[in-house]
């Protein structure tokens, strides 16, 4: 059996298992064990155990559960509500200011939690009912939150970027810096479209009649600023060379737990200490899920390499005599389609090790490519059939149909496509900060 036929068989088997509802980690593991049996025969189980646990051994993986714990602590508190209220008081005089407040709250909360579903749930619970009450259509209310939640996998600290760094052996600190300006750029695109759409439809005009004094605006900040300080602190110790990503994540998680307990548990009494076990339980569940996917995806990649599938595909693409931008367009379409069916972590772990040599040989920067890949994964979060954020929003507001949420999300998908085009035209949007702060990579 040739490598290409073996790869096709593995792909069909994987898609069949996913289609019947098997969790991605188990599907990847089962297909991998079948492929490794073809290579090693009866000794394949020894190889499976050695490779699977070997992939989970690096100390850098500790950053993942720590950042998840950091996000779970913030998500368990009313921090999302406070972010939303604070921004609403400052942006209420802008047409469509309430939608802008939700988008701003999503971008900040995404940086705190690093999770798109958590961002959608935390901001959507307050934002969607409030927007509908003030006359905004359900499509705009739901679509803006679904799109804003996607920023959680791009704006640092991002679990997705950590997974990419581990899979490709690239610097996690540089990846975080590379995602910062593109994250702000996408937020600006989302807000610009929102202002245009609200002006055209005459939405948000009632917000202009509501006034807040400067005292009322500043009074909303004390509960928000400490969490913003944590983001700044984590990024500072990372980029200043003070700590590794794992150490920074651990300290960030500790401070988030303390702030939630002090700000909301002691002072405002809007958070109960009985929620602490729930935070650790949710962190454990999500961490184990991601770790299983990491181990199984790496095993899958090892099986592909053992059957010489990876090398054959990479050589076939390298032999294509096409312009490098045509090659990048093909890769983008492939990533986009993969994101429709698989979660971001799974796509990154399965494709990044294969695509990175091809991308770098074509003259593209690996950190720039990480941002482009992540934006493709963002699009997958708000497009069917997986579209995790669509289902989260539908769970928050079950009376809004999935079709309405999707229609509200489409303009923001186009904003993300525009973001990819902007990055292709001006790659320094992603590379400026890493080169400025950490110096050009040799």
C-beta of residue 347 within 8 angstroms of C-beta of residue 304: no
Q: What is the mean pLDDT of residues 343-367?
A: 86
Q: What is the number of helices (H) and of strands (E) in the chain?
A: 21, 0
- DSSP category for residue 362: T
CB-count burial class (<10 Å; 0-12, 13-18, 19+) for 10: buried
How far apart are the C-alpha atoms of 51 and 66, rounded to whole Å?
24
Of 156, 184, 377, nearest to 245 by C-alpha is 156
How far apart are the C-alpha atoms of 144 and 138, rounded to whole Å?
10
Residues 144-191: tens digit of each pLDDT: 898 888 887 888 878 888 889 988 889 888 998 899 999 999 999 998
The pair of three-digit structure tokens given for residue 147, joined into one six-digit string: 């799109």
How far apart are the C-alpha atoms of 273 and 265, rounded to whole Å?
7
The pair of three-digit structure tokens given for residue 115, joined into one six-digit string: 């999770």
How far apart are the C-alpha atoms of 321 and 292, rounded to whole Å?
38
Residue 299 in this model has a pLDDT that exceeds 90: no
Secondary structure class of 223 (helix, strand, coil): coil
The pair of three-digit structure tokens given for residue 289, joined into one six-digit string: 């899920």
Q: Which string of DSSP letters, residue by residue, matches 56-120?
A: T--GGGGHHHHHHHHHHHHHTTTHHHHHHHHHHHHHTTSTTHHHHHHHHHHHHHHHHH--HHHHH
How far apart are the C-alpha atoms of 118 and 95, rounded to whole Å?
27
- DSSP category for residue 41: G
Tally Cβ neighbours within 10 Å of residue 373.
26
pLDDT band at 354 (very low <50, low <70, confident <90, very high): confident
Residues 11-26: tens digit of each pLDDT: 888 888 888 888 888 8
Of 351, 367, 416, 349, nearest to 389 by C-alpha is 416
Of 302, 284, 348, nearest to 52 by C-alpha is 302
Question: Over pLDDT 90: what percentage of the chain?
Answer: 12
C-beta of residue 87 within 8 angstroms of C-beta of residue 298: no
| Angle value at C-alpha 412, between 411 and 417, nearest 5 degrees | 100
C-beta of residue 365 within 8 angstroms of C-beta of residue 328: no
Mean pLDDT in the chain?
Answer: 82
Residue 442 in this model has a pLDDT that exceeds 70: no
C-beta of residue 349 within 8 angstroms of C-beta of residue 293: yes
Secondary structure class of 399 (helix, strand, coil): coil
How far apart are the C-alpha atoms of 423 and 164, rounded to whole Å?
19
How far apart are the C-alpha atoms of 394 and 117, rounded to whole Å?
12
How far apart are the C-alpha atoms of 215 and 200, rounded to whole Å?
33
How far apart are the C-alpha atoms of 177 and 437, rounded to whole Å?
9
Question: Over pLDDT 70: what percentage of the chain?
Answer: 93
Residue 410 in this model has a pLDDT that exceeds 80: yes
Segment of 131-145, 341-355, 362-376 carrying the highest mean pLDDT: 362-376
Tally Cβ neighbours within 10 Å of residue 363.
7
Residue 379 has φ and ψ, to the nearest 5°, of -60, -40
pLDDT band at 134 (very low <50, low <70, confident <90, very high): confident
């Amino acid at each position: 059996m040739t490598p290409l036929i073996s790869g096709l068989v593995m792909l069909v088997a994987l898609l069949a298992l996913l289609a019947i509802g098997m969790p991605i980690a188990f599907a990847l593991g089962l297909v991998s064990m079948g492929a490794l049996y073809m290579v090693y025969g009866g000794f394949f189980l020894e190889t499976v155990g050695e490779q699977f646990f070997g992939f989970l051994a690096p100390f850098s993986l500790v950053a993942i559960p720590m950042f998840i714990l950091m996000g779970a602590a913030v998500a368990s508190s009313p921090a999302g509500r406070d972010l939303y209220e604070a921004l609403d008081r400052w942006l209420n005089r802008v047409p469509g200011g309430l939608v802008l407040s939700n988008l701003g709250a999503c971008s900040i909360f995404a940086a705190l939690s690093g999770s798109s579903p958590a961002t959608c749930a935390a901001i959507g619970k307050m934002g969607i009912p409030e927007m509908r009450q003030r006359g905004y259509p359900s499509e705009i209310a739901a679509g803006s939150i679904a799109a804003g939640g996607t920023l959680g996998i791009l704006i640092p600290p991002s679990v997705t970027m950590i997974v990419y760094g581990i899979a490709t052996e690239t610097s996690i600190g540089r990846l975080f810096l590379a995602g910062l300006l593109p994250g702000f750029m996408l937020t600006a695109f989302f807000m610009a479209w929102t202002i245009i759409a609200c002006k055209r439809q005459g939405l948000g005009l009632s917000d202009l009649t509501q006034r807040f004094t400067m005292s009322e605006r500043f009074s909303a900040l004390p509960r928000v600023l400490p969490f913003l300080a944590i983001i700044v602190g984590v990024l500072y110790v990372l980029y200043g060379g003070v700590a590794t990503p794992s150490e920074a994540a651990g300290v960030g998680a500790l401070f988030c737990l303390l702030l939630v307990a002090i700000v909301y548990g002691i002072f405002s009494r809007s958070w109960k200490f009985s929620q602490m076990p729930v935070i650790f339980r949710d962190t454990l569940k999500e961490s184990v899920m991601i770790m299983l996917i990491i181990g199984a995806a790496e095993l899958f990649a090892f099986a592909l390499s053992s059957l010489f599938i990876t090398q054959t595909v990479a050589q076939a693409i390298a032999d294509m005599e096409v312009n490098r931008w045509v090659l990048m367009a093909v890769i983008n379409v492939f990533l986009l389609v993969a994101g429709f069916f698989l979660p971001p972590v799974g796509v990154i772990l399965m494709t990044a090790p294969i695509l990175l040599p091809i991308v770098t040989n074509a003259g593209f920067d690996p950190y720039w490519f990480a941002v482009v890949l992540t934006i493709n994964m963002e699009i997958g979060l708000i497009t069917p059939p997986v579209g995790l954020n669509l289902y989260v929003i539908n769970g928050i507001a079950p009376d809004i149909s999935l079709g309405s949420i999707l229609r509200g999300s489409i303009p923001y998908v186009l904003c993300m496509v525009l973001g990819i085009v902007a990055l292709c035209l001006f790659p320094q949007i992603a590379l400026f900060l890493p080169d400025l702060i950490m110096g050009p990579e040799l």
